[in-house]
Chains A and B, each alone.
Chain A
Amino acid sequence: MNESFGSTTLRDAVLVGTEVMHQIIALDAPCVFVTFVDELASLSGSTVSMMSTVAADDPTVRTYKLMRKRADGLAYAAAIAAKHGLTYDVLRRRIER
């Protein structure tokens, strides 16, 4: 599943995602789930949490390596936004011009 249940609020995504995952876990069916909802990464003992990682010295550089790791809530999105010139200060200057 790829970012399933993403088009609702986080609370609803956790709720619906948990519900669906519990059913899959009960079936003991293998499932790979790409998600930003960290809660789903620690649902049961049979859940393996993997994280995609970034370069140690530059969070905008993706390593494309997935590590077995607890979901820590960091997606380093702000770094990419900054790379695109979308922080408050830069954006103000870009539009004022």
Chain B
Amino acid sequence: MYPDRDFGLQHVLPANEATVAQDLELDTLFAAMAAGDQVLSEVARRAIHLSLQDPDTIVYRQQILTDCLSNPTVVRHLYALAGEALQAEKSVWRGLSWDSPRSMLRTSVQKMELLAGFLRRLREMADEHAATFHSPGLTRLLTMFAQELDEQYVALIESQLTALKFRSGLLLSAQLSAGNKGGNHRLRQPRDQRWLARLLDRSGYSFTIPDRDENGFRALGELEDRGVNLVSSALAQSVHHVTGFFEVLRVEIGFYVACLNLSDRLVDKGEPTCFPVALARGDLALRAEGLYDVCLALTVDQRVAANDISADRKPLVIITGANQGGKSTFLRGVGLAQLMMQCGMFVGGHSFRANVCDGLFTHYKREEDDSMRSGKLDEELARMSEIADRITPNCMLLCNESFAATNEREGSQIAREVVHALLDAGVKVLFVTHMFDLACGFYREALDNAVFLRAERGADAARPFKLAEGKPLATSYGEDSYRKIFGHSVNPAAAAFLDRGTR
């Protein structure tokens, strides 16, 4: 996941994680990436929220993902192998914590034997498939398998494990310590002595515990425990290390398996994907062709509408236009693409190019009515204030019908101040609004750093879900919805009266 460090599951996610997930409907994305696998779901969630800020690392992951997309079977196999190894380790009865060093050692030997088998299988896979991968990340991983898990190494592990089963007894050394008691018990490597030689040992320093001497056997057992104590905990630690290795492997490869799962879903639907171009943080850009909302594509059967945007060097995008014309979907599409780009994934569309941002924030009109507690406007303003506490220059803010919980004039006034302050602080803002006063006000300012997109209304009130650059209009074609529901048009005279002088 990173060229220089592990991708842990312990990093703290951004504080606005839940809000962003809700507004961009990320659960749909995570579910598609997980395909029912709990581990993948968690990996996807973390990878998406822990955005990369460095275009080089994004390219690093993109290259790995490219490799994975051309060799999905091998990558899935690798992921499955890591899972099996962890499963196998778990399946060995752990023993109880107060178990003797001897029984702990037995458990560890059993676990390590299983794990060594998986290490060998990893190496064999690496040997077989190394040539098919070209990305620096995967090449490095497979080279590491081939070199560090070579047969000699695995064989050494296995022979040492065999020795630790003490089939031919246990050789201990001890010293006399205070009170002439034995101390400093150590396990010793036996010389390769034949059983016959040992049997014929005539040195005279031996004795036999009689069959029914329980105390004698207990004493012998305690002596053995002291002897294997060190090696037992050392081996337990090794098992822990190797298990940790498989855990990291499962998580890191898991991210790419999750990407494969998503890719499969989109390919099945015939939706295009592309690798985005991530520009450095200061290099303000947002340009896309055929961009669509991946989450919407995952929830409907038909193909979804795609849109273009060209907003390089434009920190403000104001989106207005027809009700149910695709404004929110477009906004979510941009947000998703930004997040997917910044975790090294492909995005939904033909092309996408944008600068990395330090954080993505969302401020959406909430449908649920919290007015029993604080009043809608108050709740909305409190959320914006929370954003202000956390947002920094070079972040990105997506607003969807913000400040609509008051009258248009005052809502526009608040929005105008907030947006101007954010722009001047260096925040990129995309704002979906029905507030003509606001949109038109910005339009009249003739800002050279703003783009105005309008959701189109086709002939016969159709909604092509297409956005085009255009001046904000006073109407969002709400009459269309009225006609659809009520079966007749609004009073044309009233419409003409309202539109006097504006058309």
Contacts and interface: CB of A to CB of B under 8 A. Distances in A.
B477 A80 contact: no
Interface stretch (B162-170, B230-238, B375-383): B375-383
Interface in A6-32: 6-16, 18-19, 22
A10 to B, nearest CB: 4
A88 B324 CA distance: 32
A94 to B, nearest CB: 5
Contacts of B491: 18-19, 22
Interface stretch (B214-222, B334-342, B386-394): B386-394
Given A15-B498, A86-B384, A77 B479 contact: no
B411 A77 contact: yes
A16 B437 CA distance: 19
B285 interface: no
A92 B417 CA distance: 10
A8 B433 CA distance: 9
Given A7-B323, A18-B494, A91 B410 contact: no
A42 B410 CA distance: 20
Contacts of B323: 7-8, 12
Given A86-B384, A86-B388, A95-B425, A77 B377 contact: yes
A14 B500 CA distance: 14
A77 B407 contact: yes
Interface string A84-97: 11111101101110
Interface string B321-354: 0010000000000000000000000000000000
A78 B414 contact: yes
B413 interface: yes
Contacts, number: 135
Chain A binding surface SS class? helix
A86 B391 CA distance: 13
B171 interface: no
Interface in B369-425: 369, 375, 377-378, 381-382, 384-385, 388-389, 391-393, 401, 403-411, 413-414, 417-418, 420-422, 424-425
Contacts of B427: 95
B490 interface: yes
Contacts of A19: 482, 486, 490-491, 494
A3 B391 CA distance: 31
Contacts of A6: 404
Contacts of A11: 436, 474-475, 498-499
A10 B437 contact: yes
Contacts of B411: 77
B391 A95 contact: yes
Contacts of B418: 81, 86, 88, 91
A8 B437 CA distance: 13
B230 to A, nearest CB: 55
A12 B495 CA distance: 9
A88 B410 CA distance: 14
Given A94-B389, A95-B388, A95-B393, A15 B479 contact: yes
Interface string B423-435: 0110100000011
Contacts of B263: none
Nearest to B424: A92
Interface string A19-53: 10010000000000000111000000000000000
A24 to B, nearest CB: 13
Given A10-B474, A77-B414, A91-B425, 10 more contacts: A3-B405, A9-B436, A10-B437, A12-B323, A12-B475, A15-B495, A15-B498, A78-B414, A89-B421, A95-B392
Interface of A: 2-3, 5-16, 18-19, 22, 36-38, 62, 73-78, 80-81, 83-89, 91-92, 94-96
25 contacts: A6-B404, A7-B323, A7-B401, A8-B434, A9-B435, A9-B436, A10-B437, A12-B475, A12-B476, A16-B481, A18-B494, A19-B491, A36-B406, A36-B407, A76-B410, A77-B406, A77-B407, A84-B381, A85-B388, A86-B414, A88-B417, A88-B420, A91-B421, A95-B392, A96-B425
Interface of B: 323, 365, 369, 375, 377-378, 381-382, 384-385, 388-389, 391-393, 401, 403-411, 413-414, 417-418, 420-422, 424-425, 427, 434-437, 473-479, 481-482, 486, 490-491, 494-495, 498-499
